[in-house]
Structure 1
Amino acid sequence: MLTGVLAATLPSTSPAFARQDDLQALLSAPVGVERTAPVSSVPFQTRVRKFYLDASVNGETHEFIFDTGSPTIVSRQLADALGLEIVGRNTGRDANGTPVTMDFAIIDRLTLGDVTFTRVPVLIHDFSGLATGACLIDGGVIGSEILPGSAWRIDAAAGRLEIAESAAALAPLETVLSAPLHDFGYPHAPVLDYALGEIADKALFDTGSEEEVVLFHQVADSRPARAHIVRGSVVTGQGSEGESAGGRSENRELVRFSLEDFRIGETSPGPVRATTRTVPPSLVGAGMMDRFIVTLDYPGAAFTLSPRDAPAPERVEPGFALAFAGEGVEVVQLFEGSPADEAGLRLGDRVTAIDGRALGGHGCEDVHWLMGEYSEADGGALTVERAGETMVIEVPPVR
């Protein structure tokens, strides 16, 4: 959601800061952790390629997105309902590099399962300004500030997040990859060492990204990186890299490819499918959990991968993507030579119906259907408006 938090400013009259003149002093203070059991298990659901779970904020329970690549962000509506005091303001950049200004507040108690985190600094944002924010985001985003001091095991197959006082308290699992886990201070995002041939760099472990690997484009464009792209695996296109707190990114070149010899720490998880992003850093995303259970061991400073009982079905790349933009649904990504491209679909086409189901006028019902039930891989008869004309384009399914 939001990465690269920058310098913050404080209201000079804030009574909460009568004895300190810098918000950084608050952000550097460790978040408190209260446990009623050595291990707490929190169920989550995967919807629209995000992890949703319930959490209690100052005694009020709401649904949140669990996103290790983001600071914790509370919706403006929830912040107002809780009467949170604004203690500062921050301008940072979202995942697309767009500057976003948000207020800071302090949550007294944030509870996940049997674990309560105290005095948690949070950002406040009005998600209703996003095209689908009001439909997909309730309480906000639970991010990385609360990760230090615990071992976190994320099992996407089971839909279970375990929070333990140490990795030793978790059930033992086979480990196929172990690498150093770095914490460089607020917002305490999980940072990993990765290597690609002779390239050695750092990546953010980001459950907010659905991909296996996302390389910063300057890394991907380098000669050493190109040498490790699997021959014949590259597909290119045009479109938006996605929507973040500041809105949807501008259209740009898109590329997808497979990598060999991609290593986390000193070990390869096997061949990975990757894409690129315009804004650093590189990412290791939630797509890695199609094959592995992830443990973020903050006390032990270790990132580990354990094999799932069975991998998820191999992902299909449909070659195009639809999203809500402005007042309707648009083609926001299109890859060259894909079935959708060859059928005549074009970037920016406004899609008003799919297989006779009208899109528009149904509010969140349309959002949940398009992003939860429909899959671009299924194709369909897309009713398209382009340059004042209406046409039906038959997009074949991709299997």
Structure 2
Amino acid sequence: MNYTRLIIAAITFCLAIPLSAQSYQATIPYQMLGGKMIVEMKVNGHAHPFIFDTGGHTALTAKACQALQIAATDSMKITDVNNVEGYHKTVHIENLTTPDNVINFKNVPSLVINEVKGWECFGVDGVIGSDLFASAIVSIDSQTRTITVTSAERPSTVSLRKMLNFTRDGGMPIISVQIAPASNIDVLFDTGSPGLLSLIESDFENIQSEASMNIVSEGYGEGSVGVAGQADKASSYRIQIPLLSVGAAKFRNLTTCTGKHPYTLLGVKLLEYGKVTIDYPRRRFYLEAFQPDYEINTPCNNFDLTVKDGDLYVSTVWSSTKGKIAVGDKVIKINGKPTKKYDFCESILNGIPELEKKKKTKLTIETASGVKDIIYEKE
């Protein structure tokens, strides 16, 4: 079930965080919660949970700053995941330490962000972003659920055949991937993005005539959530990509949706298919794929749903249900039984139980033209 995407990343440039010159290797365990990587770091000696987000900037919530008694010292202009620019206050974290106490990042610049819709579901106090690791090598292994941070006096030992260079200035892990037959686009590796690939409209328009892609559906619905708030309702396309190549790894029959991000995003699902290493000082990205070729073929819902004030509403309508239902229509029955009250956070983290693992479900929906029975299904 696809809910309104909750993407809390702030896209910005990296700032170097000075570390001691000695060699180090720290291990940060992570867990997956609602499509987010959750890690624990110590702020001035005390453990706090964070979202690990390679597409974002290190940040603390305003609530956490107040509890930690850290005062704002400056402000910074950022562009969030919805391409909205704005100024945010900044603070400096005196000590930000890995949970094994191996690395202590000192005087860390951090954005101050207000909690946005859905933030409370993850129980975190901020974001750990790419800027924190500007002088380090970071390896992410989904099989052990660990992030390894290593000093960068020597390059990674991963084969250069698995390496892609960063393509943009600024220190973010932006690399070039290929959509067959020969269309190259820049993508940001963003663990804050929940899918495998999220294609921006401009990239789609630029390569549509030369790349092998098919529009399978057109949708209209609620926007994703960034640090500046939720984007306005907008149209988007579902695009079927026969072949996406990330270095030597191939992903076949991938379906993605167009969006309005600053960059096309290569999301956290990439970690399901391989180990990722980012050598920030040398501007190198490595993907050690678990196998060379993947068939994706993930079906999508014919409309999307979200929970508001305990009730279930239509959040996005795709082509096959266009004209039958609309964004904001309320679901009142599931398979003939009245809907119960749903917890928003539970829906974000675990979905709606009555709709999980079923190919088709009959939903009774209140629309502007009356009550209708609509089949909710994958297509």
Shorter-normalised TM range: 0.7 to 0.9
CA distance in 2, matches of 1:343, 1:160: 46
SS for the counterpart of 1:229 is coil
TM-aligned CA deviation for residue 49 of structure 1: 1.2
* Equivalent residue, structure 2, for 1:333: 316
Q: What residue number does 1:23 align with?
A: none
Tell me which residue corresponds to 2:272. 290
* Contact 2:9/2:192 (<8 A) preserved: no
AA partner of residue 92 (structure 1): I
Query: Relative to structure 1, is the Cα distance of residues 158 and 350 closer, same or farther in structure 2, using a 3 angstrom cutoff?
Result: farther
Distance 2:134 2:66 in 1: 28
Q: Contact between 1:381 and 1:393, CA under 8 Å: does it hold in 2? A: yes
Amino acid in the other structure paired with 2:278? L
**Kept after mapping to 2: 8 A contact 1:353/1:359:** no
Residue number in structure 2 paired with 1:66: 52
How far the C-alpha of 1:369 sits from its partner, in A, is 3.9
Match of 1:140 among 111, 123, 126: 126
**CA shift in 2, pair 1:234/1:392, >3 Å:** closer
1:117 has 2:100 as partner: no
Deviation at 1:214, TM superposition (A): 2.4
The whole-number CA distance in structure 2 between the counterparts of 1:97 and 1:53 is: 26
**Aligned-pair CA distance for 1:78:** 0.7
What is residue 175 of structure 2 aligned with on the other side? 192
Matches within 5 A, 1:248-267: 248-260=230-242, 262-264=244-246, 267=248
Q: Which has the higher contact order (CA 8 A, sep 6+)?
A: 2
Name the structure 2 match of 1:53.
39
The total of aligned residue pairs comes to: 362
The structure-2 alpha-carbon separation of the partners of 1:74 and 1:322, relative to structure 1 and needing over 3 Å to count, comes to: same
- Tell me the alpha carbon deviations over residues 74-96 of structure 1, each in whole angstroms, 9 at most, x when there is no partner: 11111011111211123433211
SS at match of 1:33: coil
1:107, CA displacement in angstroms? 0.7
Assess if the C-alpha contact under 8 Å between 1:35 and 1:116 holds in 2.
Answer: no
SS at match of 1:234: strand
Percent identical? 20
Q: Per-residue displacement from partner, 1:151-207 (whole Å, max 9, x unpaired)?
A: 11112343221212249697x66776320035733xx42221334455544321111
Q: Give the equivalent residue in structure 2 for 1:207.
A: 191
Q: Is the 8 A contact 1:192 1:202 kept in 2?
A: yes
Which residue among 160, 181, 188 is the counterpart of 2:166? 181
- Answer yes or no: is the 8 Å Cα contact 2:279–2:285 preserved in 1: yes
Partner of residue 19, structure 1: none
| Structure 1 match to 2:67 | 81
Runs of at least 5 residues in structure 1 that lack an aligned partner in the other structure: 7-26
Change in CA separation of 1:103 and 1:95 when aligned onto 2, cut-off 3 Å: same
Per-residue displacement from partner, 1:188-246 (whole Å, max 9, x unpaired)? Answer: 42221334455544321111112222232122013x43432345x62322223422222
The answer (yes or no) to whether the contact 1:199–1:225 under 8 Å persists in 2 is no
Match of 1:368 in 2: 346
- Displacement, 1:370? 4.8
CA distance in 2, matches of 1:109, 1:366: 34
State the superposition RMSD in angstroms.
Answer: 3.5
Measured against aligned partners, the alpha-carbon deviations of 1:28-69 in whole angstroms (never above 9, x if no partner) come to 5x3133699843222211121111111111222121111111
Distance in 1 (CA, whole Å) between partners of 2:104 and 2:365 is 49
Shift of 1:384: 3.8
SS in structure 1 opposite 2:65? helix
Aligned residue type for 1:57: V
Matched, 1:126 2:114: yes
- 1:383 shift after superposition: 5.4
In 2, Cα distance between the equivalents of 1:336 and 1:260?
21
Shift of residue 277, structure 1, vs aligned partner: 1.7
Closer/same/farther in 2, CA of residues 62 and 352 from structure 1, 3 Å limit: farther
Q: Is the 8 A contact 1:131 1:326 kept in 2?
A: no
TM-score by length of 1: 0.77
The reply to whether residue 218 of structure 1 matches residue 202 of structure 2 is: yes
CA distance in 2, matches of 1:112, 1:388: 56
Whole-angstrom distance in 1 between the partners of 2:20 and 2:109: 16
1:359 paired to 2:347: no
Contact 2:177 2:185 (C-alpha < 8 Å) held by counterparts: yes
After TM superposition, the score normalised by the length of structure 2 is 0.80
Deviation at 1:358, TM superposition (A): 1.8
**Is residue 2:91 matched to residue 1:105?**
yes
CA contact (8 A) 1:318 1:377 kept: no
Higher mean C-alpha displacement, 58-67 vs 233-242 = 233-242
| Higher deviation after alignment, 213-222 or 93-102 | 93-102
Q: Aligned pair 1:386/2:344, yes or no?
A: no
Cα distance in 1 for partners of 2:351, 2:22 equals 38
Instruction: Give 2:199's aligned amino acid.
Output: L
